[in-house]
Structure formats: C-alpha cells, structure tokens
Amino acid sequence: MNGADSARIRHFLRDDDLSPAEQAEVIELAAAMKKDRFGYRPFEGPQTVAVLFDKPSARTRVSFHTGIGELGGLPLVVDNVSALMGRGEPPADLARVLDRQVAAIVWRTSGQELIAEMAAHSRVPVVNALTDEFHPCQILADLQTVHERLGRTAGLTLTYLGDGANNMAHSYLIGGATAGMHVRVAAPPTYQPDAVILDQAAAIAARTGGSVVALSDPVAAATGAHVIATDTWVSMGQDGKDERVAALKPYQVNDELLQHAARDAIVLHCLPAYRGYEITAEVLDGPRSVVWDQAENRLHAQKALLHWLVSH
Ligand code: CP
Ligand code: NVA
C-alpha cells in the first residue's frame, strides 16, 4: 500500500484522534441521528463493515451490528479474531486482506499496538472498540448522554472513581479534556492513571479550557462534580480480584459519596456493572443513574462516528 494513501484515512484509535471541534461535530451528528434514526445510509449498497472481537461484549457488539445495518450496511461480526491470526498472521496482513473488501474495520482487542498496526496498514477507517488502554467509543456515547442531560459538556466536572489505570479512566481523561471538561480521577496510589496519558490529557485541557487531575481522596474528587462515573474494578483479562476489591473499596459509588456531588449530578457506568462492588444497587438503579440512556447512545454515537469517518 502507498503510505500517502493511508495517511489520508481517518482512524479512531484513541479519544484524541478527533480534535475538539471534530468531537463536537460527531456528538451533534449523533443527536441528529438519534432523532432521525433511519435517515442516514452511508453504507447503502450494502457495503460491509467488519466488527472483530478478541474479548467478550454485549453492548459494543449489539450497537455496532444494529448501527451498521441502520446505516444501510452489512455487519460482519467475527468473534475470537485471535484464532484467525492464530496461524501467526500479523494485524498488518489482516488489514491488507480486509480493506479491499470492507468499508471500515472495528476491533476490540488487548494491546493498543495491535490496533495501531492494523490502522497503519489499512486503507479504510479502523475504530477501537476497546483495548486495554482506551475505550473511546464509550466516551463518545457518554459525552452525548451528558449533553442530553445537562445541556453541555465544556466546563462541567466529571469525576471517575475506581481503577484509574484502566481503559475507561484513560479515555475519560483524554476524551473529557477534548470536550473541555474538568476531569478528576480518584484512585488509590497503585491504581493511578498512566503518567504519560495524564500529561497528554493536561496538554489537551490547556487548549480546551478544561483540566485534569488525579487524586486519591474520593470525597474531595466527588465534591461539586456534575457527573460521577465508575467502571468495574476487574477489567477483562485482569487477575487479582481480591486484592483489587480490597484496594478499591473506598472508591465505591454509593449514596453517601453522591451527597458530595452537585445537586443535579448524574451517574454514568459503561456496564457491565457489579452491584455492591464499584457501585451500589441503590445508585445504579436510582434516579441519578443514566446508564440505560448511556448504553443506548453507543448506537447513535457509533453510527455518527462511522458516518463521519467514511466521509472525511
Ligand atoms: N460498555 C461496553 O463496552 O460493554 P460491552 O463490553 O458489553 O461491549
Ligand atoms: N474496563 C472494562 C470496560 C468494559 C466495557 C474492561 O475493560 O473490562
């Protein structure tokens, strides 16, 4: 493949692959597509979009499958992609096979370097459907949800509590900073965000008017927050559940913690949720929780993202 060709393709591998203006455009498009759900058909033909999984999924799988169909396309959902490459085939070669047949490639895998290699050799957009490092599609849906509920994202404070070193924490830092939010991550010392990602998020925030900070005090982090977010304490592929639960217990999102947040604060969780661990049943199933809208918005946000990527 010609390097110049691949350089023009837009991929979405991490949250800052969209500039602040582009991120806002995609979220606005997502809102429009939510209102006119069957009115956009960029994949009419139908063109095929490959959706590849190396890890389990419910929401990502259903929303991409449904969304690609609603965009007029044909979803090719493949589980256990590692098995396809189990014969020693590198992501670069899979990219060169797929990009002659499909309009876009969506991949959930472990290492960010794998999806980066795929993208470097693909002449069609590659979308990160979760890696160990980032979950950027989820953050687009989360920003859409915050916008729907609170009317804006820029200038609001989003506090994420729990495993500060996981994909959701990193994507909140980068994606939230891109949106001009004030992002606080509260985690114990051994579960703090990656220092490089924190620095990158701070640099983005300096341009958007947002801010980022990593804290260890959950109450200080939650105080005055407009959005409270959490995620599982044991991400896919991680060991040491007992140790994690013991360390992360003080970061549980519960009614007591929520008393410190803003009066109209909303609660996000990307799901699947573990009631009694990172969040109580009272909060997850209570009035501040917007998790079902958040899960639905995966559909609209990803449709908007795919539409945007193939038209740029
Ligand atoms: N939130 C999310 O990505 O859910 P799944 O792992 O079920 O796709
Ligand atoms: N941090 C979680 C997110 C699941 C959507 C995981 O990687 O398992």
Q: What is the pLDDT of residues 100-149, one digit of tens each?
A: 999 999 999 999 999 999 999 999 999 999 999 999 999 999 999 999 99
**CATH for 139-290?**
3.40.50.1370
Return the ligand number nearest the Cα of 139.
1
Whole-angstrom Cα distance, residue 200 to residue 196? Answer: 6
Whole-angstrom Cα distance, residue 90 to residue 149? Answer: 43
Q: Could you give the percent of the chain with pLDDT greater than 70?
A: 96
Q: How confident is the model at residue 1 (pLDDT cuts 50, 70, 90)?
A: very low
Architecture of domain 3-134+296-310 in this structure:
3-Layer(aba) Sandwich (3.40)
For ligand 2, what atom is nearest to the CA of residue 238?
Answer: 8
Q: What is the mean pLDDT of the chain?
A: 96
Q: What pLDDT, on a 0 to 100 scale, did the predictor assign at position 5?
A: 54
Model-level ipTM above the cut of 0.90: yes
User: Does 3 have pLDDT greater than 80?
Assistant: no
Q: Are 49 and 306 in contact (CB under 8 A)?
A: yes
A 10 A CB-CB count for 203 gives 12
Q: Is 270 a catalytic residue?
A: yes
**Tokens, residue 303:** 């449709």
- Residue type for position 170: H
What confidence tens digit (pLDDT) does each residue in 24-72 have? Answer: 999 999 999 999 999 999 999 999 999 999 999 999 999 999 999 999 9
User: Does 224 have pLDDT greater than 60?
Assistant: yes
Q: Is 285 a catalytic residue?
A: no
Q: How confident is the model at residue 4 (pLDDT cuts 50, 70, 90)?
A: very low
- Please, where in the chain does CATH 3.40.50.1370 lie? 3-134+296-310, 139-290
Q: How confident is the model at residue 214 (pLDDT cuts 50, 70, 90)?
A: very high
Give whole-number Cα distances, 63 to 51, 128, 147, in Å: 11, 14, 20
Instruction: Check if 168 has its Cβ closer than 6 Å to any atom of ligand 2.
Output: yes
Max CA distance (Å), the chain: 57
A 10 A CB-CB count for 248 gives 23
Q: Is 36 a catalytic residue?
A: no
Smallest CA separation from ligand 1 atom 6, residue: 57
Q: What pLDDT, on a 0 to 100 scale, did the predictor assign at position 191?
A: 98
A 10 A CB-CB count for 150 gives 16
Q: What pLDDT, on a 0 to 100 scale, did the predictor assign at position 87?
A: 73
Q: Are 237 and 55 in contact (CB under 8 A)?
A: yes
Over residues 268-276, the mean pLDDT reads 98
Give me the half-sphere count of Cα atoms (radius 13 Å) on the Cβ side of residue 269. Answer: 26
Q: Could you give the percent of the chain with pLDDT greater than 90?
A: 94
Beta strands in the chain (DSSP E): 48-53, 74-79, 104-108, 126-128, 157-161, 182-186, 211-215, 227-230, 266-269
For ligand 2, what atom is nearest to the CA of residue 270?
Answer: 5
